[in-house]
Structure 1
Amino acid sequence: MNHTPLNVALAMGPGVAPRIFPPHRLAQLVPELLLLNTEPMEEFASPESQAILARTDILITGWNCAAIDADVLQKAPRLRYILHAGGTVKHHVTDACWERGIQVSTAAEVNAIPVAEYTVAMILLANKRVLQVARKLHTDRTTVEPDQVFPDMGNYGKRVGIIGASKIGRHVIRLLAPYDLDVVVSDPYLDNAAAAALGVELVSLDELVASSDVVSLHAPSLPSTENLIDAGLVAELRPGATFINTSRGELVDQDALLDRIQRGDLYAVLDVTTPWVLPPDSKFYTHPNVLLTPHMAGSLGTELGRMAASTIDEALRVARGKPLLHALHPNDLAFTA
């Protein structure tokens, strides 16, 4: 039976669409949906944007999308779905969207995949002491006997502590399952039965920090989690441990972390910091016990195609009358980044 296709529009910051939605991706929407704009709306105030909004049933959003508030919604009477090709929607999906009953979906589930892969790679390298041994080899430029320098090197039997059974935290746990590691988790919203179902042991945050060879942070950035890893917990990290942060810098007392690193008995892998870009004179850049990466754990390069595919699949599900696969509910916002 023939039916009129729903209208879909794009809204995101400058330069985002070519990275996530090249033409061959957008072509997958047709003919089940009518694409109103191949050049995304970067704002919602212009007459051109408002003309598009008036016809939009489904809004596909990306990074740096403008806020969708009550004034915007007034110009979009048909809008029923916001499908975000990224993780958090807190910067553009406002209370007015939830009050209107708009259904929201995100690509957070698939964005968790590369973050988890990055984390697992760093965990395995950290326990193997690869970065430290490589640095010594580059510095000494002579024969290095790795286990003479680091007799505790290796992954067998090491304890890995996961802070936060988030989408990413759970995926890290799944990816670590084949290895001979002792994996523990700390999360105030997880009980022993749920932890057992994940195949890990639930422990207190203090016990996790004090007993783990690698501590990996995967809690969301919320007012309640700011400075979660405070000076006291930093002090409890066991000597020789590696601390990994792919979450957000504001969850950690960075001054305390740097002080501990400068004592020489702690290592850190930091994909996120506060501020987002550290000042040029930050000691994090120069300390040999620190590996800094520029917020690259999440979807980048070819991995953006996975987020695009997930979002387009959601749009096609709507067109076919199916429920969203990755629906986000208002109550979820208290537990998600």
Structure 2
Amino acid sequence: MADRPAALFALGAHHLQALYPPRSMHRLQQLVRIDQTVVAERFDTDDIRAALASTEFLITGWGCPPITAAVLDVAPRLRAILHTAGSVKALLSPACWERGLAITSAAAANAVPVAEYTLAAILFAGKDVFRLRDQYHASRNFTLAEVQTGVGNYGRTIGVIGASRIGRRVIELLRPFDLEVCLFDPYVDAASAAELGVRLVDLDTLLRNCDIVSVHAPANAQTHRLVGAEQLALMRDGTTLINTARGSLVDTEALIHHLETGRLYAVLDVTDPEPLSPASALWELPNVFLTPHIAGSHGNELARMGDCIIDELERILDGRPFTHAIVATDLDRVA
């Protein structure tokens, strides 16, 4: 047991049991020496500084304090940072890459429930479930033999903005259905689009021609209000916009204008600002389906992220590279 490398948890302690339930914790402790009662929620206490001195693997997650050069100075044996969550942008300083640390995250595991949420939203939107639910609720009646026009998912055109991990997972989940998928992503070429089984188009073409548009690009300076007033105006009447990425990618006020006219529909798991102001029109608009940033991992889905990190740990202990390695040059292109 003593020959196993030392590891340390650095995250919000209240997340630990959900991320690493007993089965996962047992598996983890077969690989490394790690004390589940010692969780770093800050790095400046004597006990944590002492633990860092021998730590080779830092297992982080939501609530981890920033890992600065000063933190690395007291962790001379550190080999890798394994982040049991998605983005590492706010967590890691440039020093982490400058010192040659191997870095990975569970972003791929977190992409799974977001893509599942998106698939459900696409199919419900195509079936016009949100409007018909409200219509049924208001009338308390319907005619059994009446065929709803303009409803259905046969031959719908779906637009995916961003071939991110989540965007690619959404495309994969859409394959069994009778849908045409268009993709906008400036980093994807025609050959890659063909491999994905999608039609590569520019953003304006996607917005003009798709029945349902789902946003999956990262939030950065280039994507701020990527779907703005001009872009929203291109969308056909009755189009549904789905956003599970970041609220900043969509111009909220411009979207509200199109929603108030009844021209567009929206499924929004993220907004700008977040949370919404209590006075926001989005709360009351009947053509908006709002959820409280729940598309990502929650509940038992957190254990998938823990298992992903244990898989990565097994790889590096076997001398293999991480499956989901994060390099500094990718930071501008990932969430």
TM bucket normalised to smaller: over 0.9
Contact 2:7 2:59 in 1 (8 A): yes
* 1:178 is the counterpart of 2:203: no
CA 1:96 to 1:146, structure 2 compared with 1: closer, same or farther past 3 Å?
farther
2:274 corresponds in structure 1 to 276
SS at match of 1:243: strand
1:12 corresponds in structure 2 to 11
SS at match of 2:181: strand
Rounded to whole Å, the distance in 2 between the matches of 1:336 and 1:11 is: 22
Contact 2:157 2:181 in 1 (8 A): yes
Q: Deviations over 1:228-247 (max 9, x none)?
A: 11110011111001000000
2:311 corresponds to which of 310, 313, 324: 313
1:224 corresponds in structure 2 to 222
Contact 2:19 2:304 in 1 (8 A): no
| 84-93 vs 317-326, greater mean Cα deviation | 317-326
1:293 corresponds in structure 2 to 291
Aligned length: 335
SS at match of 2:283: coil
Q: How do residues 1-337 of structure 1 correspond to structure 2 at under 5 angstroms?
A: 4-144=3-143, 150-337=148-335
RMSD across aligned positions (CA): 1.6
| 307-316 vs 289-298, greater mean Cα deviation | 307-316
Same amino acid, percent of matched pairs = 46
Q: CA deviation at 1:146?
A: 9.4
SS at match of 1:278: coil
CA 1:211 to 1:132, structure 2 compared with 1: closer, same or farther past 3 Å?
same
Contact 2:10 2:58 in 1 (8 A): yes
Rounded to whole Å, the distance in 2 between the matches of 1:259 and 1:323 is: 49
Rounded to whole Å, the distance in 2 between the matches of 1:249 and 1:215 is: 15
SS at match of 2:30: coil
Rounded to whole Å, the distance in 1 between the matches of 2:278 and 2:155 is: 39
| 237-246 vs 299-308, greater mean Cα deviation | 299-308
Letter in 1 for 2:180: D
Contact 2:8 2:38 in 1 (8 A): no
Letter in 2 for 1:154: G
Rounded to whole Å, the distance in 1 between the matches of 2:169 and 2:159 is: 14
Rounded to whole Å, the distance in 1 between the matches of 2:277 and 2:64 is: 27
TM-score normalised by the chain length of structure 1: 0.96
Q: CA deviation at 1:219?
A: 0.3
Q: CA deviation at 1:329?
A: 1.1
Rounded to whole Å, the distance in 2 between the matches of 1:277 and 1:241 is: 25
Letter in 1 for 2:290: L
CA 1:144 to 1:93, structure 2 compared with 1: closer, same or farther past 3 Å?
farther
Q: CA deviation at 1:23?
A: 3.8
Rounded to whole Å, the distance in 2 between the matches of 1:318 and 1:144 is: 61
SS at match of 1:72: helix
Gaps of 5+ in 1: none
SS at match of 1:327: coil
Gaps of 5+ in 2: none
Q: Deviations over 1:284-316 (max 9, x none)?
A: 111100000111111111111111101112122
Q: Deviations over 1:140-190 (max 9, x none)?
A: 111156975x51100011110000011111111111111111110000111
Rounded to whole Å, the distance in 2 between the matches of 1:37 and 1:114 is: 27
Rounded to whole Å, the distance in 1 between the matches of 2:4 and 2:27 is: 14
CA 1:328 to 1:115, structure 2 compared with 1: closer, same or farther past 3 Å?
same
Q: CA deviation at 1:22?
A: 3.0
